[in-house]
Amino acid sequence: MTNRKVAVVTGASSGIGRASARALAAKGYEVVCAARRLDRIEELAREIDGRAVQCDVTNREDVERLAAEAGPCVDVLVANAGGAFGTDPVASADLDDWRRMYKINVLGTLSTIQTTLPALEAAHGVIITIGSTAGLVSYEGGGGYCGVKHAVRAMMGSLRLELFDKPVRVCEIDPGMVKSDEFALVRFDGDEEKAAAVYAGVEAPLTQEDIADAVTYIAELPEHVNIDQMVVRPRAQAAQHKVFRTS
């Protein structure tokens, strides 16, 4: 048993999720690190004295097991698991890419929130979703990704209204361009040249540690302080409109 507060972080095997898990652990949380790649989250859990739970957020049984293993009180949920696939225009978009993005980003976030909500209420906890400025503005070749991030933002808006009388804070972090471990490589199927082109001309993109700082800031706010959204933009403002454009 532990007296530490409990934080659940999905997508903890790399990028923003991994950085957030480390940052929360540094603040004294027992972090439940959830992701599909068990070897990576087991390594992380050993490093930060947390717990590793293999979980594919598109699999309801996995998500229910994650909630059960997290325990009856969860102080922080960082619903970070997500992904962007494909850069085709709407007219020629791959439907499988869009379905995959919707299942992970939207249904995965929904499922994670649903299963952990009782424990969050018990702890007077906070839900933090990692969105994107793609949920605020659109760009060429980003119809699918922008669509799912708009959907997550709408879902969080509804949840915020529905939980108005519950002891749960509902928050979003919507970064601009973030240079993380694998995000661009996943978007371009491992093509390092295309991935590097994402950041061409951007003087100082955000880092995964920047977003982790925002996560811990929200997590540590006193309960009576009401912050429902934090839009984190890169220093080069134009960059948010250039995300994943290679032309």
Pick the CATH number of 6-241 from 3.30.565.10, 1.10.10.10, 3.40.640.10, 3.40.50.720: 3.40.50.720
Q: What parts of the chain have a pLDDT lower than 70?
A: 1-2, 181-191, 194-200, 224, 226-247
Query: Quick one: tokens of 6?
Result: 């409990």
Cα–Cα distance for residue pair 121/178, rounded to 1 Å = 31
Cα–Cα distance for residue pair 112/108, rounded to 1 Å = 6
Q: Using a cut of 0.85, tell me whether the model's pTM lies above it.
A: yes
Q: What pLDDT, on a 0 to 100 scale, did the predictor assign at position 178? A: 82
Note the residue count of the chain.
247
Cα–Cα distance for residue pair 23/113, rounded to 1 Å = 21
Query: Quick one: tokens of 203?
Result: 């003087």
Query: Quick one: tokens of 93?
Result: 């978009």
Q: What pLDDT, on a 0 to 100 scale, did the predictor assign at position 228? A: 61
Query: Quick one: tokens of 140?
Result: 């060429």
Known active-site residue 145? yes
Q: What pLDDT, on a 0 to 100 scale, did the predictor assign at position 185? A: 61
Q: What pLDDT, on a 0 to 100 scale, did the predictor assign at position 246? A: 25
Q: What pLDDT, on a 0 to 100 scale, did the predictor assign at position 193? A: 74
Phi then psi for residue 24, to 5 deg, are -65, -40
CB-side exposure of 156: number of CA atoms within 13 Å? 27
Q: 29, 139, 145, 199: which is the annotated catalytic residue?
A: 145
Q: How far is CA 133 from CA 157, 172, 238, in A?
A: 15, 11, 12
Q: What pLDDT, on a 0 to 100 scale, did the predictor assign at position 226? A: 65
Helix (H) or strand (E) holding 31: strand 30-35
- Cα R_g (the chain), whole angstroms: 17
One-letter identity of residue 145: Y
